[in-house]
Structure 1
């Protein structure tokens, strides 16, 4: 396996992801809060490497003021199924400017969905992009179809695509690595 897998090892992430090992499918508000924080910290790690700002100096009468603004030439996208990830993604968009969300339904990547993605990304073709495919649990067929579409149809470089997931398995990682060895995957936990 030659994938670039980043298992986020921050102590808070370890504690939050460890607590889910001992719970069954808990859909309570505690589980949603835990996932929200895990997603938030995961995106912090991803965007820490990919988010750039411009320094703007504003000259005032007696002094100058420094303001940091997102670089308008760089666009960040999250491709996700909002039915599964809304509580996580909604908080992320509040703090990260220039973050565009593309909502798609799983596991089917229909003509309507691909048309929506194509329209959004072609509109912003002149900008440098970072695309994050975000899932709570990584699904191999869905993810590989989406990556194929982005690379083959939209001519997006694999370097512009990252995958973020709260949980993934060794089997899924092995299958994805066979097809896309240069892909970056960020996760909080790898299951056997």
Structure 2
């Protein structure tokens, strides 16, 4: 498998996932934990791609330095918001000019229609596909569409999730070996 897989092993993520799996906690608490997991995963993925510029403001009594996002770069999160709402809640408040688009993989025509409405600059757009679990081959249709129709370089497309299915990762690697996947855990399935 040539796919670039980055396993996020942050201690907080490990603790939260263990708590979700081993303790009898309420649905509200689970959603709350997914909020933190999502934030940590998005942080890990985006820290390599977000570019800031140092802005110097001359004041009467000195200089104030501010960091602002590079307006030449575009950041786009593609996700099924009904499944990942809790994971992406905080990112919009921290990065106001990031675009978040709801994408449903169930129907290729609906997926293409959703993306068609977005103004995407192929040279300056970083795309982050966010999922709780990557266990469906339909994500390959989304990647194919972004690469072949929207002309987005695979180096500008990233998948981030909590759980990845090894069979799906293998299928993605066969078609797009240079794609980057960020995950906390890989579920190894044996195909007979």
What's the TM-score once normalised by structure 2's chain length?
Answer: 0.90
Q: Report matched runs for 1:4-83 at 5 Å.
A: 4-22=4-22, 28-83=27-82
Kindly indicate whether the alpha-carbon contact (under 8 Å) linking 1:167 and 1:187 is maintained by their aligned counterparts in 2. yes
Q: Is the 8 A contact 1:77 1:99 kept in 2?
A: yes
Name the residue aligned to 2:152: 156
Task: Tell me how far apart the structure 2 counterparts of residues 168 and 17 of structure 1 sit (CA, whole Å).
Answer: 14
Cα-Cα RMSD: 1.8
Tell whether the 8 Å contact from 2:159 to 2:181 is kept in structure 1 after alignment. yes
Contact 2:122/2:150, CA 8 A, preserved across alignment: no
How far off is 1:27 after superposition?
A: 6.7
SS of the equivalent of 2:61 reads: coil
**Please, which runs of 5 or more residues in structure 1 have no aligned partner?**
none
Report if aligned partners of 1:140, 1:176 keep a CA contact under 8 Å in 2. Answer: no
CA distance in 2, matches of 1:4, 1:157: 15
Is contact 2:105-2:142 (8 Å) kept?
Answer: no
Corresponding position: 1:133 with 2:129: yes
Q: Choose which of 108, 115, 139 in structure 2 pairs with 1:117.
A: 115
Alpha-carbon contact 2:13-2:37 (below 8 Å) kept: yes
SS where residue 50 of structure 1 aligns? coil
Aligned 8 A contact 1:17 1:188 in 2: no
Aligned residues: 188
CA distance in 1, matches of 2:137, 2:167: 12
Task: Tell me which residue corresponds to 2:140.
Answer: 144
Give 1:97 shift: 3.3
Larger helix proportion, structure 1 or 2?
A: 1
TM-score for both structures, normalised by structure 1: 0.90
Shift of 1:116: 3.0
* Alpha-carbon distance change, 63 to 90 in structure 1, aligned in 2, over 3 angstroms: same
SS of the residue corresponding to residue 48 of structure 2 reads helix
CA distance in structure 2 between the aligned counterparts of 1:155 and 1:127, rounded to whole angstroms: 9
How far is the alpha carbon of 1:23 from its aligned partner? Answer: 6.3
Once the two structures are TM-superposed, the CA of residue 124 in structure 1 deviates from its matched residue by 4.1
For residues 42-101 of structure 1, give each alpha carbon's deviation from its aligned partner in whole angstroms, at most 9, with x where no partner exists: 000011111111111111122111111111001110000111111221212111232101
Distance in 2 between residues matched to 1:33 and 1:105, nearest whole Å: 23
